[in-house]
Homo-oligomer: A and B are copies of this chain.
Amino acid sequence: MTVHPDMHGEVAGRLAALEQRYTTTRRAVVETLSRAGRPVTIPEILSSTPLLPQSSAYRTLAVLIEAGVARRVTGDGDHGRFELAEELSGHHHHLVCEVCGTVDDVPPSTRLERALDEAARAAAEDQGYTVTGHRFDLVGRCPTCR
């Protein structure tokens, strides 16, 4: 799910805007997030990036989030889950397995997006909210836990 044509360049730019360097460690984490194609936990990041200390993983993610490169998504389990920002990975939704907690990405349908936007507008008007985005997760059982 590599939607952005020059991901690393874009990341470097966003980091530079905050006077942050695009180091080897950071590149490795971005690479991991990109390859995963779904929100991953810290333990998962650590196992796919040998020699990376846990504290560096957390710190790197904090920076990436600050730079708008990554974001933390709601985890049902113990660990938080992280993924690339939608500007880099493309807008999508999640399939959450209620048994094992795994989260997969799912592309949005045009019709669904239209309905979601409409709902957002209606809700905003009703309760005085200014809606800036939405989260839509499908909950169920993954093929493994079926």
Which of A's residues lie within 8 Å of B, judged by CB? 74-76, 93, 95-98, 104, 106, 108-109, 111-112, 114-116, 118-120, 122-124, 126-143, 146
> A10–B106 Cα gap in the complex (Å)?
37
Please name all residues of chain B whose beta carbon is closer than 8 Å to the beta carbon of A112 when the two chains form the complex. 115-116, 118-119
Name the contact of A95 in the complex, choosing from B109, B123, B138 (C-beta under 8 A). Answer: B123
Do the beta carbons of A139 and B128 come within 8 Å of each other?
A: no
> A74–B39 Cα gap in the complex (Å)?
15
Do the beta carbons of A138 and B129 come within 8 Å of each other?
A: yes
> A111–B137 Cα gap in the complex (Å)?
18
Please name all residues of chain B whose beta carbon is closer than 8 Å to the beta carbon of A138 when the two chains form the complex. 119-120, 123-124, 129, 131, 133-134
